């Protein structure tokens, strides 16, 4: 984690504050009872969608060349994975009875992404000789625009919508699970007899 003090309008300070907001929502979700989890999920998804746009449209292009392709490409892919899960949670089914599990997986992925940004990307970006306060003003203006005009759908939402309701391996396994046949009284009696004989032999 970076340990330097930054003005509140500094781009990195703004993004870090967003990280803290999202992590607090994840922690709240972990402690919440089921009925209140829906509202927490909705708040977190809105925060994440806006934050992703701010990073992808403004922050990432400004620091990409200095930070380097490896870190930035990983960040792009982590955003993509998170946005697929967000799109599935936003879809009509919303994850069904796997909704909480899907959100937990999203939270784990985003926490990992935040650690990498704050431990590697942001300290590296901080070395750049650019006006981070001006960049921060751009972030704030873009965020306000999104809050006022709405968040546009992304490629991941289009992909999930085209694919239809998501089906998880867990759901598929539940559908194909072979039901256990009830044990007859005669079979139970035979098992008991075998058990007694085995015990005597021991």
Confidence at residue 84, expressed as pLDDT on a 0 to 100 scale: 96
Asked whether 117 and 12 are in contact (CB, 8 A), the reply is: no
Separation CA 129–CA 37 (nearest Å): 43
Asked whether 13 and 7 are in contact (CB, 8 A), the reply is: yes
| Residue-wise pLDDT tens digits, 130-165 | 999 999 999 999 999 999 999 999 999 999 988 876
**Under DSSP, is residue 92 helix (H, G, I), strand (E, B) or coil?**
coil
Confidence at residue 97, expressed as pLDDT on a 0 to 100 scale: 79
What global pTM score does this model have? 0.80
Burial class (CB in 10 A: 0-12, 13-18, 19+), 127: exposed
């Amino acid at each position: 984690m970076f340990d330097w003090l930054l003005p509140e309008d500094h781009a990195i300070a703004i993004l870090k504050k967003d990280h803290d907001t999202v992590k607090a929502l994840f922690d709240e979700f972990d402690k919440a009872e089921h009925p209140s989890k829906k509202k927490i999920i909705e708040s977190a998804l809105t925060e994440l969608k806006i934050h992703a746009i701010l990073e992808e449209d403004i922050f990432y292009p400004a620091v990409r060349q200095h930070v380097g392709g490896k870190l930035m490409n990983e960040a792009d892919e982590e955003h993509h994975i998170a946005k697929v899960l967000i799109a599935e949670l936003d879809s009509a089914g919303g994850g069904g009875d796997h909704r909480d599990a899907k959100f937990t997986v999203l939270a784990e992925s985003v926490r990992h992404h935040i650690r990498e940004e704050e431990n590697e990307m942001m300290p590296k970006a901080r070395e750049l000789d650019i006006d981070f306060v001006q960049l921060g003003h751009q972030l704030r203006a873009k965020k306000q625009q999104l809050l006022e005009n709405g968040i546009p759908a992304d490629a991941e939402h289009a992909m999930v919508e085209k694919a239809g309701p998501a089906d998880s391996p867990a759901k598929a396994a539940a559908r194909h699970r072979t039901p256990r046949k009830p044990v007859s009284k005669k079979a139970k009696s035979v098992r008991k007899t075998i058990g007694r004989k085995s015990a005597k032999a021991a």
